[in-house]
Amino acid sequence: MEQYRTEHDSMGEVRVPADRYWGAQTERSRNNFPIGAGREPMPEEIIRAFAMLKAAAARANRQLRPEKMTEEKCGAIRAAAEEIRRGELKDHFPLVVWQTGSGTQSNMNVNEVIANRGNEIAGAKLLHPNDDVNMSQSSNDTFPTALHLAAAEALEKRVLPALEELTESLRKLEKENGDVLKCGRTHLQDATPIRFGQEISGWRASLERDAELIRTAGEPLRELALGGTAVGTGLNAPAGFDRLSAEILAEESGIPFRTAENKFHALTSLDEMVAAHGALKALACDLMKIANDIRWLASGPRLGLGEITIPANEPGSSIMPGKVNPTQCEQVTMVAVQVMGNDTAVSMAASQGNFELNVFLPVCAYNFLQSARLLAESMASFNERCVRGIRANREKMAENVNRSLMLVTALNPVIGYEKAAQTAGKAFREGISLKEACVALGFLTEEGFDEAFHPERMA
């Protein structure tokens, strides 16, 4: 039989599971928002970010308000917060995304867990969740701060490293295939020749540009709302708390965070999140294109393009023996679609700021962090299980180049566009070579054709 203890808040007493560190406000939220329970919890990244900022706030308060934040209190807060950061107390954060739009209850969830666990560590009732753990803070400035901390860390420590590893694999593939001539394609139709290394360079350059966009868009996330408290005025926070807490967070995270100069903006606007997620969407769009190129180039194995082979990772059909599908390409394209959908949610959430606060913070956090997490994991899997194993089918590429009617473009400077078009048309209708068609039409001799016709020079 489950055991309970009694906790209280400003509204009265509440029964809380005895083996959990959360308190009355967390329990009220847990009961009032049975929406997505167990399926859509507040992201772990947000909880860890909250723990980081609570520890930093305690350090700043220790310096600025030593009469209230004693060394013993500061130590207990930091010890409990560190356990949260390490993931040791994850079972003590039951709240869902679908709660108050300011994220107040998740802020209080962290405050209550740190207070109760900190008191346990200290062996005395030192900490109050509001008076001590939440000192100089409000949910209205801590949740935007946690959001920026988590988002910046997700970009810099997850997305960008995975993106660079994938890009490096493409660099190697590009170098290995620099001499391989193949048919180019535009509008899904045959086009003039291209080297496979050049085609890959387009993929590689796209990802390099995406990395630039993410770095640029991620820079404003380093501005923190902490110190604005309830409405941006900094009420109940000591002078210098905002700058000092940001400096501590920069020191502890290794990311150069700084305080937002205008806290009224920081509390009500999510424009930085929109811009940063837009860069993630750009990456998703390029990944969609690259994954589609790869699976189409690998289509077959006999009746498709078949110009490359990719790793066979698992059986592709429950009924067709021997079938192997481009499943890694498919997961990438599904992730891309999810990220594009998330971008709409982030944009809508950002548009809903009213007066001094935006109350769509949890849904913005949920979608942004899901996008970052999915992209990082998707790229890592795609790189390991597909891209590194791509091999050019040089024979098939050569065959396709030699059969392409668009090689006739090489004749434009010699016989002109209209005669070249007639040559291509005759070759296609009669199933003969370009040379045979050109000679038959009397546009060039065999020797003249051979002199003008060099597909390898077209790339």
Q: In this structure, what CATH number is given to the domain that contains residue 422?
A: 1.10.40.30
Q: What tens digit of pLDDT does each residue of 313-329 get?
A: 999 999 999 999 999 99
Residue 115 lies in a domain: yes
Q: For residues 210 and 284, state if they share a domain.
A: yes
Q: What tens digit of pLDDT does each residue of 4-19 get?
A: 999 999 999 999 999 9
Q: For residues 90 and 186, state if they share a domain.
A: no
Question: What is the spatial distance between Cα 449 and Cα 411, in angstroms, rounded to a whole number?
Answer: 8
Question: What is the spatial distance between Cα 211 and Cα 213, in angstroms, rounded to a whole number?
Answer: 5
Alpha helices by DSSP H, listed for 351-457, are 361-385, 394-403, 412-415, 417-430, 434-440, 446-452
* DSSP bridge pairs for 5: 16
Give the model's pLDDT for residue 273.
Answer: 98
Indicate the Cα dihedral angle 337, 324, 205, 454, nearest 10°.
-130
Question: What is the spatial distance between Cα 300 and Cα 294, in angstroms, rounded to a whole number?
Answer: 12
Q: How many CB atoms lie within 10 A of CB 446?
A: 11
3-state secondary structure of 315: coil
Give the model's pLDDT for residue 2.
Answer: 84
Give the model's pLDDT for residue 242.
Answer: 98
Whether residue 109 contacts residue 22, with contact meaning beta carbons closer than 8 Å, is answered with yes
Question: What is the spatial distance between Cα 47 and Cα 26, in angstroms, rounded to a whole number?
Answer: 14
Question: What is the spatial distance between Cα 236 and Cα 136, in angstroms, rounded to a whole number?
Answer: 6
Residue 328 lies in a domain: yes
Q: What tens digit of pLDDT does each residue of 291-317 get?
A: 999 999 999 999 999 999 999 999 999
Residue 231 lies in a domain: no
Q: How many domains does the chain have?
A: 3
Question: What is the spatial distance between Cα 316 and Cα 61, in angstroms, rounded to a whole number?
Answer: 59
Residue 414 lies in a domain: yes
Residue 292 lies in a domain: yes
Indicate the DSSP class of residue 128: -
- Six-digit token string for 442: 């009397």
Q: What tens digit of pLDDT does each residue of 5-55 get?
A: 999 999 999 999 999 999 999 999 999 999 998 899 999 999 999 999 999
Question: What is the spatial distance between Cα 284 and Cα 278, in angstroms, rounded to a whole number?
Answer: 10
Q: How many CB atoms lie within 10 A of CB 225?
A: 29
Give the model's pLDDT for residue 38.
Answer: 87
Mean pLDDT within 374-390: 98
Q: What tens digit of pLDDT does each residue of 424-443 get?
A: 999 999 999 999 999 999 99
Domain containing 80 equals: 4-135
Q: For residues 161 and 268, state if they share a domain.
A: yes
% of the chain exceeding 70 in pLDDT:
100
Question: What is the spatial distance between Cα 247 and Cα 19, in angstroms, rounded to a whole number?
Answer: 36
Residue 250 lies in a domain: no
Task: Report the catalytic residues.
Answer: 187, 317
